[in-house]
Amino acid sequence: MDLLKKRIMKESDIVSDKILNVDSILNQQVDPKLMMQLGHEFAKRFANEQIDKILTIEASGISVASAVAHELGVPLVFARRKRPLTGEDVLVERVPSFTKGIVTDIVVSKRFLTSGERVLVIDDIIANGDAVRGLIKIIERAEAELVGFGVVIEKSFQAGGDSLRKRGIRVEPLVQIKSLENGQIILD
């Protein structure tokens, strides 16, 4: 994804050695054409898999996950960060958030993940991987099947991506960031 690499090099800001601000590309402003291109790329990479559903987590994952769902013609489910007021049966996992510095619940209503469904998880960024591990636990508890994890940006200097690979999970990052040290973005 040279296009994405160029956008990251041009538009992102290094906040610290660990945090890159990609608000103008993914986290607050999105270019719908780029999203469709990312969706197309994920669809291509997982073309050999049967996929019944896309799962992501609010909020920044929704735009790219919508594009993947559109490309594959399957429903998108997004986990919420709050329990619903509607009192329905939910699957809940408690996870810390690296960028937000807080612990939150992630919640999916039971009726949206059913036994045997083949689920592709999509997200915008992986750092330590806490959110995606929470989503995977929810998939397991629903007795659905995890196809893999597609992520726009993997911060490969943090442990999240590799912790999934070690468990045999297929991880497909579109871009890997190797380092943000000394005010420089080093891509893999």
Residues in touch with a copy of itself (CB under 8 A) = 13, 15, 19, 21, 23-24, 28-33, 35-36, 58-59, 62-63, 66-67, 69-70, 73-78, 80-82, 84-88, 99-101, 108-109, 111-112
Residue in the block written with tokens 């750092």: 127
Q: Are 65 and 75 in contact (CB under 8 A)?
A: no
Nearer to a copy of itself, 19 or 169 (CB): 19
Taking the complex as a whole, the smallest distance from the CB of residue 55 to a copy of itself amounts, in Å, to 10
Residue 71 CA: distances (Å) to CA of 5, 66, 76, 136, 188: 22, 9, 11, 22, 27
Taking the complex as a whole, the smallest distance from the CB of residue 8 to a copy of itself amounts, in Å, to 15
Nearer to a copy of itself, 120 or 171 (CB): 120
Nearer to a copy of itself, 17 or 88 (CB): 88
Write the CB contacts of 131 (distance below 8 Å, at least 6 apart in sequence). 57, 95, 97, 106, 123
Nearer to a copy of itself, 18 or 169 (CB): 18
Taking the complex as a whole, the smallest distance from the CB of residue 36 to a copy of itself amounts, in Å, to 7
The closest alpha carbon to 105, from 116, 96, 114, 117, belongs to 96
